[in-house]
Amino acid sequence: MKETFKKRISNIEQGIMNVEVRYSIHLKLFKIVRAKRFHTSSFDISCSIFCGSFLNFHIVSQERLPLAKKTASLIKKD
């Protein structure tokens, strides 16, 4: 009985953490988009969650990616 109860609590905590993570990603993305005048569809979001904690979090602007590739190619030539 105790094990079942602990599992339910951890499942509830994990669900709450997932909602918090999604909400914080949305807020960060919204702030970036408002500041830079980008559309949300121009961003690629990847977030890895393990046991309720962040392992990795990236927001990559797809509009700036070609510029980064051009810069990298210029650096390689030098």
* 60 vs 18, residue with greater confidence: 18
Q: Report helix, strand or coil for 72.
A: helix
Report d(CA 9, CA 33) in Å as an integer.
Answer: 36
DSSP symbols for 18-64: HHHHHHHHHHHHHHHHHHHT--GGGEEEEEEEETTEEEEEEEEETTT
Q: Round the average pLDDT of the chain to a whole number and report it.
A: 53
Residue 57 has what pLDDT? 46
Helix or strand holding residue 4 (H, E): helix 2-36
pLDDT digits (tens, 9 = 90+) for 35-70: 555 454 545 544 444 444 444 444 444 444 444 444
Average pLDDT over residues 20-36: 60
Q: Could you tell me the residue ranges of all domains in the chain? A: 2-77
